[in-house]
Amino acid sequence: MTATEHQEIERKYDVAGGAELPSLVTLPGVDHVEVRPAEELDAIYVDTADLALARARITLRRRTGGKDAGWHLKLPARKDVRRELHAPLGEEPTREDGSLDLQRLQVPAELLPHVLAHTRGRDITPVVRLTNQRTTAELYAGEQRTFLAEVCADRVTATPLREGLTASAWSEWEVELVDGPLSLLDAVEGVLLAAGARPASGPSKLVRALGSLAPRPVAIHAVPDRPTAGQVMMAALQSTVERLKAEDAGARLSAPDAVHQMRVASRRLRTLLSTYGPLLDPDTTTHLREELKVLAETLGGVRDSEVMRERLLALVEAQPAQAVLGPVSERIEAEMAKDYARAHARLVRGLEHERYYALLDALDELVATPPTTPLAQEKAQLVVPRLLGRDWRRMRRAVVQATREDDPARAEDALHEVRKGAKRLRYAAESTGVVLGLRAKQLARSAAALSEVLGEHQDSVITQEAIRDLGMRAQRHGEPSFTYGRLEGIEEAGRGRLASKGYRKALADVRRRRLKGWKKV
C-alpha cells in the first residue's frame, strides 16, 4: 500500500490559555462559517533517540480521533507549506489490559522510506503524547459551498514518553488552506492578531513540547555581498547535501527522475570537494570523494537501465515496419525490466547499508563544522577564479590527450575523460555564480552542452554493447536477430558523425568562455 500525499498550507499562532476564536464571518470571500463540535485528538509522536527528525523539522505521529486518524508524516517544503503523507492506523498493539503498547508501535512501511535519510538505521521510538481538544471553524464560499479553509482552536496537553521532558499545556490557533487563495491566510491572520494572537514561536506542536530539548536546526550557510572563498564553498556544499538527502526517498521508491537527480547530486558533491579542495582538510575530502564515487556507481546501474530502455525503444520506433523482425520491443521491455529490477535491488541494499548512513553522517558533520584551511578566509574574488581555473586546465589536458590518441579504444577512453572534465567544469562554474556572475553562467552552459554531446556519444557506445547482448538473448529465445544487427549499425554510424561535428562545435563554445589568464582548450 502507498501513502497518500497532499500539501499542507498553514500558519500557527500562540494565544492565551482558553482563548476563544473570534468571529470570522466578515472575512473577504467568505460567505458561510460552520463551527464543528469539539473533538478529542490523541497523537503519539515518534523520533530517534537523538531527535533526528525534529532536527530536520520533520514530524511523524500516530493520531486517533478526528476525521483523518492514522499515521501522519510532515516534511518541510517552503514557508507556510509542508508535504503531508498519510497512512492508515494499521494493527494496534495492545497490552494485556487492553491499553496501547507504545513500545511496539511500528511505523508503516509506506512511510519509512521518506525518513531513512535522517534516521539512518536508528530505532524510532515514542517521544511525547499530545492530547488536543480542538474546535474547528470551516470557511466556505458561494452557493456551491467551496471549502476555503479551516481555523482551529487547540488546547494541547503534552505528556513525556522519554526522559528529559516535562509535562506542559498550552493553547494555540492554526489556519489551514483547503481550496482558498493564499491571500486568505493574510486576511485570517489580521483577524487573529487583532484578537490577541501572536505568530507561533515554533514550527510545530512537537517542537514546543520538546522545550529545551528541541534540537536547533542546522545553520544556513548564506553568501554575503563580499564573501570569503569559504562562504561560497559552504553554501554550495550545503545546498547539494540537502539535495542528495531530498532525493533519497524517491530513489528507494523508483520515483520518476529521482535516481538521476540523486546521482547528479553525488557527482556535484565530488566536484565541489575537488574544486574547493585547497580550502578543506585533505583527509576529509579524499574520504568523502571516495565514498561518493561508490554511491554514484550504485546509482548509475539503475540510471543506465532507465536511459537504455528509452533509447532502445526509440530506435525501434524509428525503424520501418518491414525492418523489425520478431518481438523486438517486447524483448527490450522484458530484458530491461529485469536489468532495472536487479540494479534497483542493489541500490536499495546500498541505501540501507551502514556505509551509506556513515557517509550521510560525515556530510552533515562537514556542513556543521567544516574543517577549513586558512585559504577559506581569503576573499572569494581572488581565490575562486583560481580554483575554477584548475578545473579548466584539467579539462584542457584531457582534450589535448584525446586529440593525440590514434588507437580507437584509447580514443574512446580519452573522450570519456573529456566528458567528465566538462561535467566537473560545469558544476564548479555553477557554484561560482555569486562571484563571477554572468561569466560563470555562460561557462556552465557551454560546459553542459559539451558534456551532453559527449554523453550522447558515450550512450551510443554503451547502446551498441546492449544491442549485441539483447540480440544474443533474443536468439536464445528462438527469435530473429536481424533487427538487432541493423540497430547496432545505425548506432555505429551515428556515433562517428557525432564525434566529428557536435564535439568540435561544443568545444569551440567552451573555449570562448575562458577567463583571463586561462589557456585555450
The three-state secondary structure class of 1 is coil
- Alpha helix ranges (H) inside 211-353: 229-246, 248-252, 258-275, 282-317, 328-351
> How does DSSP classify residue 321?
G
- 156 falls in which pLDDT band (50, 70, 90)? very high
Name which of 134, 16, 163, 6 is nearest 77 in CA terms.
6
Region label for 90, one of left (φ > 0), alpha (ψ between -120 and 50) or beta (otherwise): left
Give the mean model confidence (pLDDT) for residues 141-167: 94
Give the mean model confidence (pLDDT) for residues 447-455: 91
The three-state secondary structure class of 402 is helix
pLDDT of 289 > 80? The answer is yes
Residue type, position 155, single letter: R
Higher pLDDT, 495 or 426: 426
Give the mean model confidence (pLDDT) for residues 94-116: 88
Q: Give the pLDDT score at 133.
A: 95
What's the predicted TM-score (pTM) here? Answer: 0.90
**b/e for 345-361, b at 16 or more Cβ within 10 A?**
eebbebbeeeebbebbe
Residue type, position 270, single letter: R
| CA–CA separation, 375 and 388 (whole Å) | 15
Least confidently predicted of 149-163, 229-243, 405-419: 405-419
pLDDT of 448 > 70? The answer is yes
End-to-end CA distance of the chain: 54
Q: Give the pLDDT score at 495.
A: 62
- 146 falls in which pLDDT band (50, 70, 90)? very high
- 150 falls in which pLDDT band (50, 70, 90)? very high
Q: What percent of the chain has pLDDT over 70?
A: 98
Q: Give the pLDDT score at 502.
A: 81
Least confidently predicted of 85-99, 184-198, 275-289, 382-396: 85-99
Q: Give the pLDDT score at 307.
A: 86
| CA–CA separation, 16 and 102 (whole Å) | 32
108, containing H or E segment? none
**b/e for 311-340, b at 16 or more Cβ within 10 A?**
bbeebbeeeeeeebebebeebbeebbeebb
Q: Give the pLDDT score at 144.
A: 86
> How does DSSP classify residue 45?
E
Three cell numbers written together for 20:
476563544
Q: Give the pLDDT score at 1.
A: 62
Q: What is the pLDDT of residues 159-188, one digit of tens each?
A: 999 999 999 999 999 999 999 999 999 999
Average pLDDT, the chain: 92
Regarding beta strands 39-47 and 32-35, do their DSSP bridges make them parallel or antiparallel, or are they unpaired? unpaired
Across 2-113, the runs of DSSP E, i.e. the strands, are: 4-15, 32-35, 39-47, 59-64, 70-78, 81-87
Higher pLDDT, 401 or 405: 401
136, containing H or E segment? strand 125-141
DSSP string computed for 181-217? -THHHHHHHHHHHHTT-EE-SSSSHHHHHHGGGSPPP
Three cell numbers written together for 197:
494572537
User: What contacts 347, CB < 8 A, 6 or more positions away?
Assistant: 251, 252, 259, 298, 299, 301, 302
Q: What is the largest CA-CA distance in the chain?
A: 83
Cross-strand partners of 173: 13, 153
Q: What is the pLDDT of residues 243-283, one digit of tens each?
A: 999 999 999 999 999 999 999 999 999 999 999 999 999 99
pLDDT of 496 > 60? The answer is no
| CA–CA separation, 472 and 480 (whole Å) | 10
| CA–CA separation, 343 and 355 (whole Å) | 18
Q: Give the pLDDT score at 498.
A: 52
Q: What is the pLDDT of residues 335-374, one digit of tens each?
A: 999 999 999 999 999 999 999 999 999 999 999 999 999 9
